[in-house]
Amino acid sequence: MRFITRDTDYALRAMVLMARALRQEGRKVFTVEEIVLEEKLPKVFLRRILQKLAEKNMLLSYKGKSGGFSFLVKPARISIANVIRVFQGEIELTNCLLKGKICPNRPECKIRKKIKALNSRVVKDLENINIEELSE
């Protein structure tokens, strides 16, 4: 089962790396190249990922020579849930039941309700894990 896709995974790793260097060495700006060397990730793919995080106002990007990416939001305020949402959309365990096509006759389906309650807990948990603590 795929819960976290590679987009999300790479984004988390890149930011965890950045958060650690920020805390330990005060380093703020990272190029894609630097992160790729540390983490051994596909370069252009990671670039697009960081671009998206910048577009979503988690990171700040600097174009041109000696450019790169830094945090716009403090690592402590970026949760795993936030990152998942950027790349995978809303966290939704009940996809099977919410679309008319698949479950047209069950407006008050029990499976749905049960899974929704579970979903809320999962989301809450994911909201409570942030990049800062992951970097410690």
Residues that bind DNA (CB under 7 A): 1-2, 5-7, 10, 30-33, 42-45, 47-48, 50-51, 54-55, 61-69, 88
DSSP 71-130: ESS-GGG-BHHHHHHHHH-S--TTHHHHSTTTSTT-TT-HHHHHHHHHHHHHHHHHHT-B
Window of 24-32, 52-60, 68-76, 84-92 that interacts with a copy of itself by CB under 8 A: 84-92
To a copy of itself, the closest distance from the beta carbon of 66 in angstroms equals 28
Separation of alpha carbons 129 and 71, rounded Å: 17
| Residue 134 contact partner, candidates DNA, a copy of itself, none, CB within 5 to 8 A by sort of partner | a copy of itself
Nearer to DNA, 49 or 78 (CB): 49
Nearest partner of 114 among 104, 102, 105, 106, judged by Cα: 106
Find the binding residues for a copy of itself in span 3-62 (CB under 8 A): 3-6, 8-9, 12-13, 16, 40
Q: Does 93 bind a copy of itself (CB under 8 A)?
A: yes
Of 3 and 76, the one with the shorter C-beta distance to DNA is: 3
Cβ neighbours for 62, distance < 8 A, ≥ 6 positions apart: 29, 68, 69, 70
* 77 counts as binding a copy of itself under rule CB under 8 A: no
Cα Rg, the chain, nearest whole Å: 18
**Which of DNA, a copy of itself, none has residue 58 at its interface (CB below 5 to 8 Å by kind)?**
none
